[in-house]
Amino acid sequence: MSIDQTLRLLAKARGLSVADLATAIPRAGVATVSAWMRGERQPGKDQLDALAKAFGVPAGALLAELASTFDPARTRGEHDLLVAYRALDTRRQGALLEVARSMAGMRKGKAK
């Protein structure tokens, strides 16, 4: 999920308006926060920290998806697999890992 989608979902879940967020973020007005939520601009580090505090989440949670897109070693398939994995409950994540390990010929935690 992109950072703008994450911001919109968190704002909706917390019942925060763009104006509410703008008052919680140093040096960010309503227009700036709106641009972040539309994906037209990216918040800086200080603003990310303030957003994370306003939402009550770690700053890394806001950037997890964005950071993953910068990994040059990750293929599109790997990215898609990670997104699908994260959408599963814990039991299904474990099952998917077992299938992947068996297909790769790996034992739990060790390469063959």
Question: How many domains does the chain contain in total?
Answer: 2
Q: Are residues 45 and 58 in the same domain?
A: yes
pTM (2 d.p.): 0.56
Lowest-confidence pick of 5-9, 12-16, 35-39, 59-63 = 59-63
Say which residues have a Cβ less than 8 Å from residue 66's Cβ, sequence separation at least 6.
Answer: 2, 3
Q: Please write the tens of the pLDDT for every residue from 29-56.
A: 999 999 999 999 989 889 989 998 998 8
Q: Are residues 91 and 57 in the same domain?
A: no
Q: Are residues 62 and 78 in the same domain?
A: no
Report the largest interatomic distance among the alpha carbons of the chain, rounded to a whole angstrom. Answer: 55
What's the CA gap between 35 and 52, in Å, rounded? 17
Domain carrying residue 98? 71-112
